[in-house]
Structure 1
Amino acid sequence: MSSPPPPPEASQYVSPWSTRYASKAMRENFSDLHRFQLWRKLWYVLAECEHQLGLEYITKEQLSALANAPPVDIPLAQSYERELRHDVMSHVYALGDQVPIAKPIIHLGATSCFVTDNSEIIQMRDGLDILIPMLWSVIARLASFARKYKDLETLAFTHFQPAQPTTVGKRACLWIQDFLFDVEQLEYLRNKLRLRGVKGTTGTQASFLSLFDGNHEKVKLLDDMVTQKMGFEEHWPVTGQTYTRKQDYWVVATLAGVGQSAAKMANDIRLLQHMKEVEEPFETKQIGSSAMAYKRNPMRCERINSLARFLQSMVINPAETASTQWLERTLDDSANRRLAISEAFLSTDAILQLCLNVSHGLVVYPQVIQRNLARELPFMATEAILMAAVRAGGDRQVLHEEIRKMSMEAAAKVKERGEENDLIDRIQANPHFAAVREQLEEICHPKHFVGRAPQQVEEFLQQHVDAKLKEKNLILHGDEVKV
């Protein structure tokens, strides 16, 4: 039996954002269809505001025709673009064919950047509206995890070397704090985004001043009215043909900050999974390796790191674009921005989808955590043991030398022969420490070495997270987050 032929699209490159990574909502937000729909909305709002400000030759019938135009005819516009070599004008012509009565007043007084720049800013704002609830949901899930494990002592690491213990919940708070910073930056950015507005070909508004017979106040009102009708509080007060590309840099750099935080968390989880202490979710039929059947690779966290690396590398694009805009504008920003801005949002979306999945299903192995801690804790407890023995009447210098020698012997046994740490057994058998022999188990309990970690978790969540989650209407139902 012959195999069925592959689908036609299989022989063409398709972006992985569309097939593997980004969410349906984000893909739709940056789709061609949505962009062209925004162009039509901008043309309608522009004409409506021009009519309201006194351009009587824009009729209500024309406005009604624009408001009720048939769906965007992309093939028709493409046929015009092959001839005109201009994307905006091809859609002006296509819309004019679909609503002939309105054809004379479409794009009246505007330049291409009226629809391209303004629509892209709207897409960025709407993209942030998709990302911000996702990030709050990640924070909510990690907050639940941190509170659950706030008291579970674990070995901490500096330079990836054993250090003073912390708790599993406290470590998760490090991730939460970074994400909290990010979401606050995203919200600030979302509320401060400015529309390009209605500025004309080189930003002077000359064409609109001509339309309104030199009436400066009406031109200013037109700028304000269109801005407000498109859902923005502010427009850029001055522009060239384009709005300042520094706004794009600000957007992408802020998104890259989310990638940084996600990559930090993912790297930590990968290290912990290597030590078999904490693992990302692993599905029942998931295959970790095509060759090594026993493996449980941290593929989700590895993908977070992979996508975050891509996202962070994109910051240079809008930085270069902002710095190389010639005078009132140059078109070498267009193709670059079409890739950089949309893919920055799509990659952030994909990263947060993975963060939601990982934070929802983290697996903790307390027995392994306790075993790993027990291997190192005796060395860290020597100072506490020494002080207790001194308080019981011992000679500090003699005790210090005894515990130093026993520590060296125990360390050699662990490192050179791969055996268990028997330092506590050695101390128990040493007559110099007989006065504290019965206290050793309590002295060495991990809870005495984590400082205020459990209290820090609760205080941090109560003071900086819980109220904000409540404000955002994030309600936890078990392990699920409802937005």
Structure 2
Amino acid sequence: MSQTSPDTTPDDDAATAGTGASGPATARDERVSLAAVTPPIALGPLDGRYRAAVASLVDHLSEAALNRARVHVEVEWLIHLTSHHVVPGAPTLSSEEREYLRDVVRTFDGESIAELAETERVTVHDVKAVEYFLKRRLELAPDLLGEDTVLPKVTELVHFACTSEDVNNLSYALMVQGAVRDVWLPAARGVVGDLAVMAREHAAVPMLARTHGQPATPTTLGKELAVLAHRLQRQVRRVEGAEYLGKINGATGTYGAHLAAVPGADWVAVSRSFVEHLGLTWNPLTTQIESHDWQAELYADLARFNRILHNLATDVWTYISLGYFAQVRGQGTVGSSTMPHKVNPIRFENAEANLEISCALLDTLSATLVTSRLQRDLTDSTTQRNIGPAFGHSLLAIDNVRRGLAGLDADPAAMQRDLDANWEVLGEAVQSAMRAAGIAGVPGMDQPYERLKELTRGRRITGEDLRAFVAGLGLPDDVAARLSAMTPGSYTGAAADLVRYLDA
């Protein structure tokens, strides 16, 4: 590479900065390293821009939550073994000693996280670090409970006969269960509830339907919103019924170490009672890992909910573009950086993007977690660390949809204008009435579909056109009167009544 001559000016350097390797590298070297900024800057939007909307998931699906759940499982396993006298010679813990152990979980905080991280730097093994962390708490117990406490004598019951996956699978099951029940489900029920309220409010508001994007048999705004609410409601019920499976049976699911150490114990019964004590469903047949099928089932249901919510977002976006909804609330927001008249449907667009990301992650989790080479490989360990982002993008989307819906006002007048401009949609009603009359023996009712097709296809007709056509058909007076009184806005069938099935 040619060297810069001594008389090169700063302007010359700037002009040639993009042509040599040293130019842009020097410019980059002069920048502040954002990776070194304190407090640390989030790499992803969930922990940065959108933190407030998803922060509640940190208590359930973060790395720190995983370690707290591991401590919880280890503590409860120790209490379970001693309470049920599983290992001969092990002392029975007093209520104060059990509470001391459970306080380790309750008081798990930033200092605990830092201590665990320091231990893991030595062990280079996350679960082993948790084991040592808890053993240190047992050794420190006399400082609080007095010298008579037996806790220092039971340190070797910590992680007794366990493989790491015994602790991990139970921890993840508890974490996901908590995230679903405490965070995701309340949010999902909230958006379904918001939608149901809107559906009931607008149950009788007539609206032109569009099948294939074309004017079609009128419906009501409330009924169409109720369809989406009903679909989402079904998925919520599926998620509510999810099973969370767990196992604690050793390195290959055989209880080999358990029976080698204490052959007289009914380890299968101990395992089952412990898993159920944690509030999980016991899985009796596993390899080293719990098979994660329950996770795949759950994530498929969550992804389906996401996709229906995505359908809602795109439909509402379209209704906004048609003028059926006015975005009149929150006028302090900037709709466009250059066009001051605009209020963009950004909440629904943001939701679409986040739902797509969430579904991609959930689909990957479902596909990856159900497969493990032979008795164990490590792909599930890395995969499960992405459960949080999968939930986070779904939760963020739900929040955006709820805020988007809250900013909408229906415009029945705009819907009525569309209805009044499309009298041809009543062709279906007329030809159906002609068919019924023909079956009842009324003469002159032949080829009803074809005659209405000739009248309406590819052209706009008026109410007068339709009434004149009906008057010349020779229908019974009551049928002719009924059809002549009909308008696109009144041709909504039982749509308004169907909304009540949301309460069924």
Common fold by TM > 0.5: yes
Displacement after TM superposition at 1:264 (Å): 0.8
Alpha-carbon distance change, 60 to 422 in structure 1, aligned in 2, over 3 angstroms: closer
Alpha-carbon distance change, 86 to 401 in structure 1, aligned in 2, over 3 angstroms: closer
1:60 counterpart letter in structure 2: L
The residue number in structure 2 matching 1:231 is 279
Check whether the contact 2:351–2:397 (CA below 8 A) recurs between aligned residues: yes
The residue number in structure 2 matching 1:66 is 101
The residue number in structure 2 matching 1:57 is 90
User: Within 5 A, what are the aligned runs for 1:14-25?
Assistant: 14-19=43-48, 20=50, 22-25=53-56
The residue number in structure 1 matching 2:368 is 321
Alpha-carbon distance change, 83 to 441 in structure 1, aligned in 2, over 3 angstroms: same
Alpha-carbon distance change, 432 to 317 in structure 1, aligned in 2, over 3 angstroms: closer
Check whether the contact 2:222–2:496 (CA below 8 A) recurs between aligned residues: yes
Displacement after TM superposition at 1:216 (Å): 4.4
Alpha-carbon distance change, 426 to 361 in structure 1, aligned in 2, over 3 angstroms: same
Name the SS for the 1:23 alignment partner: helix
The residue number in structure 1 matching 2:323 is 276
* Structure 1 CA distance for aligned equivalents of residues 81 and 255 of structure 2: 14
* Structure 1 CA distance for aligned equivalents of residues 84 and 450 of structure 2: 91
Q: Is it true that 1:94 corresponds to 2:133 in the alignment? A: yes
Unaligned runs of 5+ in 2: 1-32, 140-151
Alpha-carbon distance change, 275 to 154 in structure 1, aligned in 2, over 3 angstroms: same
Picking from 227, 230, 246, the partner of 1:195 is 246
Alpha-carbon distance change, 152 to 209 in structure 1, aligned in 2, over 3 angstroms: same
* Structure 2 CA distance for aligned equivalents of residues 206 and 163 of structure 1: 67
Q: Tell me the number of residue pairs that the alignment of Structure 1 and Structure 2 aligns.
A: 438
The residue number in structure 2 matching 1:175 is 228
Displacement after TM superposition at 1:447 (Å): 4.9
* Structure 2 CA distance for aligned equivalents of residues 324 and 266 of structure 1: 34
Name the SS for the 1:18 alignment partner: coil
Check whether the contact 1:146–1:172 (CA below 8 A) recurs between aligned residues: yes
* Structure 1 CA distance for aligned equivalents of residues 300 and 288 of structure 2: 24
Unaligned runs of 5+ in 1: 412-420, 465-483
Picking from 64, 67, 70, the partner of 1:39 is 70
Identical columns (%)? 20
User: Within 5 A, what are the aligned runs for 1:430-445?
Assistant: 443-445=485-487
1:271 counterpart letter in structure 2: T
Name the SS for the 1:204 alignment partner: coil
Q: Which has the larger radius of gyration?
A: 2
Picking from 112, 125, 131, the partner of 2:184 is 131
Name the SS for the 2:246 alignment partner: coil
Picking from 448, 461, 466, the partner of 2:502 is 461
Alpha-carbon distance change, 132 to 280 in structure 1, aligned in 2, over 3 angstroms: farther
Check whether the contact 1:252–1:344 (CA below 8 A) recurs between aligned residues: no
Give me the TM-score of the superposition, normalised by structure 2. 0.77
Check whether the contact 2:206–2:490 (CA below 8 A) recurs between aligned residues: no
User: Within 5 A, what are the aligned runs for 1:79-478?
Assistant: 79-100=118-139, 101=152, 103-129=155-181, 130-189=183-242, 192-196=243-247, 198-212=248-262, 214-217=263-266, 219-232=267-280, 234-279=281-326, 282-339=329-386, 341-376=387-422, 378-382=423-427, 411=459, 423-424=462-463, 443-458=485-500, 460-462=501-503, 464=504
Alpha-carbon distance change, 384 to 86 in structure 1, aligned in 2, over 3 angstroms: closer
Name the SS for the 1:60 alignment partner: coil
| Aligned residues: CA RMSD | 3.6
Check whether the contact 1:169–1:457 (CA below 8 A) recurs between aligned residues: yes
* Structure 1 CA distance for aligned equivalents of residues 469 and 156 of structure 2: 100
Displacement after TM superposition at 1:269 (Å): 0.3
Alpha-carbon distance change, 430 to 260 in structure 1, aligned in 2, over 3 angstroms: closer
Alpha-carbon distance change, 426 to 76 in structure 1, aligned in 2, over 3 angstroms: closer
Alpha-carbon distance change, 430 to 231 in structure 1, aligned in 2, over 3 angstroms: closer
The residue number in structure 1 matching 2:25 is none
